[in-house]
Structure 1
Amino acid sequence: MYQSYYGLEEMPFNITPDPKFLYLSPTHQEALQHLLYGLQERKGFIVLVGEVGCGKTTLCRRLLNEIEDTHWDTALILNPRINETEMLKAILGELGEAPRDTGLHDLIAQMQSVLLQRIADGREIVLIIDEAQNLSFEVLEQIRLISNLETDKQKLLQIVLMGQPELKDILALPELRQLRQRILVHYELKPLTRHDVMHYIAHRLTLAGSEGRPFFTGWAARKIHRYSSGIPRIVNNVCDKALLASFIRESDEVSYWDVRRAIKDVKKLTF
């Protein structure tokens, strides 16, 4: 409703992980550099953790855009609640290969053959697993085993595990110490600061086509930060409803009171 009123080309506060709208706060910029460094230096295992809604998936999309059209082949696993055989088949499928409908041993042999051929062709391969805190111990152990695939000079597969803070606790388990020892790059995303939230709001409005309207007041931005604790997904939800409240008033200014009303609406949807 408010998009045409404010002359916006698209909705500025959708919660879909569109890398176009990624706001590279200092913590997001540093996280992206850690990911790129880990891949470029072939560190093997890379771990990125962050609270729900902190922007891990959007950052992942940005990473894929950064390495697109280069020498990287990517396998992105979004649903890790699978067993070892399903994981291997999913990785091969993501790489464009038809997995053999056979046992685990044959699938590992097929994967090694595929990876060796890709390396021989000048390609490098990265496996990215989102929501990695949902991986079972058996699948984590299988991932560790395939990470052992290597030539005399390099690993055949770079692996990025992205997950919520619980992933740290899982990786700290004594039975996963062999996997933990292979993690050479680790970064934890932090929430946005109050200063970041103000710039985040302006950033998304500008990319959506705003030419100065609507405008979030300083008190509105402070209220958003206080309620959201700097979590981008919550910021988006509140901003979307605050814009609607401002539109209903036919105002170009999103006020503290618009945000307060928006928060009340968001809380009604919280179970």
Structure 2
Amino acid sequence: MYTKFFDLSAKPFDLLPNPQFLYLSKGHRKALSYLQYGVQERAGFSLLTGEVGSGKTTILRDIINKISGEMSLAMVFNTQVDGHQLIALINDDFGLKTEGKDKVQLINELNDFLLGENAAGRQAIIIIDEAQNLSEEALEEIRLLSNLEADSFKLVQIILVGQPELKQIIARPSLRQLRQRISISCHLNPLNREEIEEYILHRLGTVGKRDCVTFEEGVFDGIFKFSGGIPRLINLICDFLMLSAFVEETRNVDRDMVQDAINELSFEDTQLDETEERGGAAAGKSVSPARRIFTGSSLDDRVARIEENYAKISAARAENEAIIERLSSQGSIIEYLINQQQKQYIKIEDQLKRISSQVERLRQAVLTDNRRVADPDIIKLESVVCKDNG
């Protein structure tokens, strides 16, 4: 709705994990490099963790887009499954038939498939997202898959992706063997204050111009304090701010807009407590912006609540846009009818002018004929002319 107003080719703060918008902060660049290295060197197990909305899926999609045709890929997103179901999901994504087969058959067929891919010169990769939801049984099945290897490299690369608690799960003594197999491990931290500013400008520049909107002093600080550096929350509030600026027909975003957006998205007044900040500074401690926003609930719960409220706001916005579109359509129809009536009026007016002109000519002709009848000299002259022509 606001893209045309800001001369943008698309929404810059969409929530979809689009690698087109991938911003490589120091942490994201490191994670991407590590994972690419693990795939290229056939390192076996790789682990990527990060908070909800930190950009894990966007990095994964970027890696997938760069995978060449010499690679086979299986991606698992549904991890609320047992070991048997997990193997079935992997086989199905590789294109293997799974119906009516027990776990032993599934594993044997998967092993045969991986051997065949290696013989054909193709590298097999398994990516498991939301891996923190896997049971220990399922994680153990994944570990056993890594036993299939050639003389100098693994036949399958496995990337486990999950929230920070995945590290705690893998640290359990019962999963010691799995932990020892992980050769690449990286964690995505939230963006810092400077990275947030660059992140926002990067996304604007990707679909238009970085300076299509002006952020007044204190705006980036407010966004940082609201989001805690989580990209998904940055997108949520920035999308809200762009819409607010559009509604007010301005290209400037100020602190009042940020505060309004925070109150709308957070269910509560989240203004900073300056007393808390001064107290922390006096004690030699820094107060985490993320802690100010997320105190009293887990980050997962907080993000979920904010996203739920954002969905409600988006639904209301979509409904309003639909009404506006219908009114606009009706307005277009009315404008069309008016234009048609105007054209018809002009046409009738031209016809009236032509008729009036003809009437005037006829009137002049009648007057001429009347003068001819009334004037004896004209009649005499006409007789002479007629004789001469005879």
Query: Does residue 1:64 correspond to 2:70, yes or no?
Result: no
The answer for the alignment partner of 2:54 in structure 1 is 54
The answer for the alignment partner of 1:10 in structure 2 is 10
- CA distance, structure 2, for counterparts of residue 235 and residue 163 of structure 1: 20
2:155 corresponds to which letter in structure 1?
L
Unaligned runs of 5+ in 2: 268-304, 309-390
Range with bigger deviation, 71-80 or 157-166: 71-80
Instruction: Give the conservation status (yes or no) of the 8 Å contact 2:45–2:158.
Output: yes
- CA distance, structure 1, for counterparts of residue 165 and residue 216 of structure 2: 36
The answer for the alignment partner of 1:74 in structure 2 is 73
Range with bigger deviation, 251-260 or 209-218: 209-218
Query: Does the residue aligned with 1:148 lie in a helix, a strand or coil?
Result: coil
2:211 corresponds to which letter in structure 1?
G
Range with bigger deviation, 23-32 or 81-90: 81-90
- CA distance, structure 1, for counterparts of residue 99 and residue 211 of structure 2: 56
Query: Does the residue aligned with 1:3 lie in a helix, a strand or coil?
Result: coil
- CA distance, structure 2, for counterparts of residue 217 and residue 43 of structure 1: 47
Query: Does the residue aligned with 2:15 lie in a helix, a strand or coil?
Result: coil
Instruction: Give the conservation status (yes or no) of the 8 Å contact 2:202–2:210.
Output: no
- CA distance, structure 1, for counterparts of residue 42 and residue 176 of structure 2: 21
Task: Encode CA deviations 1:33-78: one digit per residue, 9 max, x unaligned.
Answer: 00011111111110011011100011110111122x3422111111
- CA distance, structure 1, for counterparts of residue 194 and residue 109 of structure 2: 50
Q: Across the two proteins, how many residue pairs are aligned to each other? A: 270
| Percent identity for Structure 1 against Structure 2 | 43
Instruction: Give the conservation status (yes or no) of the 8 Å contact 1:213–1:253.
Output: no
Range with bigger deviation, 41-50 or 92-101: 92-101
The answer for the alignment partner of 1:124 in structure 2 is 123
Query: Does residue 1:230 correspond to 2:216, yes or no?
Result: no
- CA distance, structure 2, for counterparts of residue 195 and residue 255 of structure 1: 18
Unaligned runs of 5+ in 1: none
- CA distance, structure 1, for counterparts of residue 59 and residue 210 of structure 2: 26
Query: Does residue 1:176 correspond to 2:175, yes or no?
Result: yes
* Displacement of 1:11: 0.9
Query: Does the residue aligned with 1:186 lie in a helix, a strand or coil?
Result: strand
- CA distance, structure 1, for counterparts of residue 210 and residue 157 of structure 2: 43
Query: Does residue 1:98 correspond to 2:85, yes or no?
Result: no
- CA distance, structure 2, for counterparts of residue 235 and residue 56 of structure 1: 15
- 1:139-218 superposed matches below 5 A: 139-210=138-209, 212-218=211-217
TM-score between both structures, scaled by the size of structure 2: 0.67
* Displacement of 1:253: 1.1
Query: Does the residue aligned with 1:126 lie in a helix, a strand or coil?
Result: strand
Query: Does the residue aligned with 1:2 lie in a helix, a strand or coil?
Result: coil
- CA distance, structure 2, for counterparts of residue 21 and residue 61 of structure 1: 11
TM-score between both structures, scaled by the size of structure 1: 0.95
2:22 corresponds to which letter in structure 1?
L
- CA distance, structure 1, for counterparts of residue 28 and residue 19 of structure 2: 12
Task: Encode CA deviations 1:1-34: one digit per residue, 9 max, x unaligned.
Answer: 3222212211111111111111111110110000
Query: Does the residue aligned with 2:127 lie in a helix, a strand or coil?
Result: strand
- After superposition, the CA RMSD in angstroms is 1.4
**Greater share of helix:** 2
Query: Does the residue aligned with 2:166 lie in a helix, a strand or coil?
Result: helix
Task: Encode CA deviations 1:116-161: one digit per residue, 9 max, x unaligned.
Answer: 0000000111100111100111100110111111233322211000
* Displacement of 1:80: 1.0
2:9 corresponds to which letter in structure 1?
E
Task: Encode CA deviations 1:202-235: one digit per residue, 9 max, x unaligned.
Answer: 1111112236312223421111012111100000
- CA distance, structure 2, for counterparts of residue 193 and residue 215 of structure 1: 20
1:198 corresponds to which letter in structure 2?
E
Instruction: Give the conservation status (yes or no) of the 8 Å contact 1:149–1:157.
Output: yes
- CA distance, structure 2, for counterparts of residue 61 and residue 218 of structure 1: 35
